[in-house]
Chains A and B, each alone.
Chain A
Amino acid sequence: MRELLNTLFVQTEGAYLSLDQDTVRVEIDGTVKLRAPLLNLGAIVVFGRVMLTPALIARCAVDGRSVVWMSSTGRFQGRLEGPVRGNVLLRRAQHLAALDETRTARIARQIVAAKIQNSRQLLLRVGRDSEAEDRNRLAMAAAELADILARLRAATELNVIRGLEGEAARAYFGVFGRMVRVDREELAPDGRTRRPPRDRTNALLSFLYALLRGDCQGALEGVGLDPQVGFLHSLRPGRPALALDLMEELRPSVDRLALALINRRQIRREHFDLLPGGAVYLNEAGRKVVIVAYQERKAEEVEHRALKEKVAWGLVAHVQARLLARYLRGDLAEYPPYLAR
């Protein structure tokens, strides 16, 4: 598989990024803090008030290197996109598949099945090392997921598949807090909350999902798929439905990272800002811890069963985008989703 390139994250307010020959130069308060060769960079992600020169932006567009803008709280704002790349035949196949109810449902079912498998595996894995009551509750949720998976197997209608996905997510997040082992009262969520996240664990998950979403969207565009035309997620203007689809298989991997950060006390209460009214966000120090951990996770190798090959976890989104492209172009009988194991 291709080389996993680095991502440059810049979250210092007022940082100034410019193109210097074939490197990107990062200045903070008039001092050059870093020169990074563009050759090694797959993406640049900036948070809040960070400036990029037009020359740097243009160069990234031409090279197909993604630039992602995030708000200072880590919400996705936008991505730089270069010339339309890839293959019009592939995009047409994608659009035709999206119009075909049978094929749409088949892709959605594959994605949901993998998400359930991967979520269930996490519940059982964490449960093995948990105290009796937590272990029981996690095992019960895992059994519920198994039951949903069995019903999913026979599901052919998209609405039924979406309903089962929702059911699985409720069962999973209903016990998510039982996988949090430290400061459970303060950190553990009561289900999944977003827009805004209302507890620390949800704030952490939201931030990690935003990083993952940027990577998934980049992977799809790199392969030449239209990130807005999804199968599990319905079409809405401005919604990267296919990027959201692709994320589903990978969310449990990111959840596992979030739990590790909490349970190893790498992320602590001082890494969060609590806003009046109840919204919770990671602060700059917290985001730094998470970004470093996310980058390390991306470099870890996993066995990719559909390829029979070890790949860096950070490349799984690229591999899945390519497998989806191969399915849409008629090379594969089914889209093979990512099974973590």
Chain B
Amino acid sequence: MAATNVLEDASAVLLRLAFHGVTHATGVPCSYLKGLFALLETGHESGIRYVRAPREDTALGLASGIAVGGGFPVVLMQNSGLGYSLNVLTSFNLIYDVPLLVVVSWRGEPGTGDAVEHDVIGAKLPDLLTLFDLPHEVFDKADAAGCVDRCVKLMSTTGRPAFLIVRGGL
């Protein structure tokens, strides 16, 4: 039953992304995002095309090319991939003014008792995004569409990559 709810939430997010014009999704899987990946891998009614990427920075590069080419990509990643991603964010997206939408999981959120390898990045995730002036919104499944709407608006109004932070499963 829990899995069904995750897929329903994930489907709502993908449909809302498609409503805003998202054409492609790319990224590297996280267990916190497995509903999104499950739907994307099998082909979802949103019509969003999924492109697999080997690493998070390459996913951002790919998404950046899609955005330059006139598509509207979304990138999905675990927060462990943010370290790899910083170079592309700082030396491409933030200087060429090519904003992206990023869905990032919050592994290692303080108090959740997650695996130790996520502790350090998890404790600093919002701070890290704030440090680089990267706007972000924490996902609330009770208001899935509203969260997507606000994240898209953050991206368009700031012109900067905007992050939807996912705690728990989606």
Specify whether A and B are partners.
no
Chain B interface residues (CB < 8 Å from chain A): none
